[in-house]
Amino acid sequence: MSREEEEEEEEKEEEEEEEEEEEEEEEEEEEEEEEVEKKEEEEEEEGYH
């Protein structure tokens, strides 16, 4: 492989890693939102009793 090809390869790998990290962050945010929603629902149910 030429030097240019190697550099392109590295850039691709870095971009893929960044995308994976972003996806993980989004998943974590979604999980947090779900937990907040569950807590709110539980609080509402307790309020009705």
- pLDDT for residue 2 is more than 70: yes
Which pTM does this prediction carry? 0.60
Residue 48 or residue 7, greater confidence: 7
The tally of domains found in the chain comes to: 1
* Cα separations in angstroms, 9 against 12, 30, 34, 36, 39: 5, 32, 38, 41, 46
What's the pLDDT score for residue 3?
96
Condensed to tens digits (0 to 9), the pLDDT of residues 17-39 reads 999 999 999 999 999 999 999 99
Q: What is the mean pLDDT of the chain?
A: 94
- Domain span holding position 32: 1-49
Q: What pLDDT does residue 45 have?
A: 86
Please indicate whether residue 45 or residue 48 has the higher confidence score (pLDDT).
Answer: 45
